[in-house]
Structure 1
Amino acid sequence: MAATSDSASYDGFTKEERDAMKEHARELKAASRRAGKAEKAAEEEAAVVAKIAEMAPEDRVMAERLHAVVKAAAPHLAPKLWYGMPAYAKDGKVLCFFQSAEKFKSRYATFGFNDVARLDDGAMWPVAYALTELSEQDEARIAELVKRAAG
């Protein structure tokens, strides 16, 4: 639906979605300016850590723990920002990501996988998990999924 002159009209995307798209464009522009591969990887991980530090306390705790779990489970994945969210890429393609509850004003955070993840299990399988907290069992399950997805 197209926007009208009424500022309360629906224009197709929420403010949060438009902000995420703008943030992704800035990330792509910044990434294209970076020089060496090792330098780029360090900068991208620093950007992920900085983004996590900006999160609300509940999301930040989960994101920090997930960052450690993903790095331990699949150290070859490259941390990077993806639409303003911490993500982990394989061969330049985002494999998994953490979406804070605050990001789109949701009641829960999400840990998700993109289609490059190798999680196929028949004709239907989950690719995103709602998170309200993380137990040791949850972390172990996520580590197992990340290992499998990363191949």
Structure 2
Amino acid sequence: MTDKNTFSDFEREAMKERAGELRKTKNTEADVLDKISEMPADEAKIAIEIHQLVKKIAPELKPKTWYSMPAYANDNGKVVLFFQPATKFKARYSTLGFNDTASLDEGAFWPTAFAIKEITPAVRQQLSVLIGKSIQK
């Protein structure tokens, strides 16, 4: 039996949200946009920019929520990338994360999460490259 204090309040809430997502018969782009609309304006601006880039660069990825975060999955339903807003875990910055289904491999060591504080033209370009690379086979 697991001790109730093993998980933080944030982790327990994320698990409850994920269980609710799994019970839904559909998890759609509308759900992602709803989650983005609940974010503070600065995080929502980043999330919507990522959403638009994914739709443009990797339209084969399907938007869905994952642990109550905007995420994008392949045809098998496996999440390739996700946006974690800073406020979700009271972190210093938001992150764009990539799961092992993403093709970011570079030798024996590579990053799978990137801190984002704002979208600039340079950041937009880097995001575009990462999103494109994440779907390469």
**Could you state the TM-score of these two structures normalised by the residue count of structure 2?**
0.93
Question: What secondary structure is seen at the aligned counterpart in 2 of 1:70?
Answer: helix
CA-CA distance at 1:147 after TM superposition: 0.9
Code of the residue aligned with 1:144 in structure 2: it is V
- How do residues 99-138 of structure 1 correspond to structure 2 at under 5 angstroms? 99-138=84-123
RMSD after superposition: 1.2
Code of the residue aligned with 2:79 in structure 1: it is V
Distance of 2:120 and 2:134 partners within structure 1: 21
User: 2:49 is matched with which residue?
Assistant: 65
Code of the residue aligned with 1:104 in structure 2: it is F
Distance of 2:90 and 2:117 partners within structure 1: 14
Which has the larger displacement, 80-89 or 61-70?
A: 61-70
Do residues 145 (structure 1) and 134 (structure 2) align? no
CA-CA distance at 1:57 after TM superposition: 1.2
CA-CA distance at 1:140 after TM superposition: 1.2
CA-CA distance at 1:47 after TM superposition: 0.3
Do residues 13 (structure 1) and 7 (structure 2) align? yes
Distance of 1:26 and 1:102 partners within structure 2: 20
Q: Unaligned 5+ residue runs, structure 1? A: 4-10, 35-42
User: 2:19 is matched with which residue?
Assistant: 25
Distance of 1:124 and 1:87 partners within structure 2: 24
Distance of 1:14 and 1:57 partners within structure 2: 26
Matched positions, count: 134
**Could you state the TM-score of these two structures normalised by the residue count of structure 1?**
0.85
User: 1:80 is matched with which residue?
Assistant: 64
Counterpart pick for 1:47 among 11, 31, 40 = 31
Distance of 2:12 and 2:104 partners within structure 1: 30
Code of the residue aligned with 1:13 in structure 2: it is F
CA-CA distance at 1:2 after TM superposition: 3.1
Distance of 2:3 and 2:73 partners within structure 1: 35
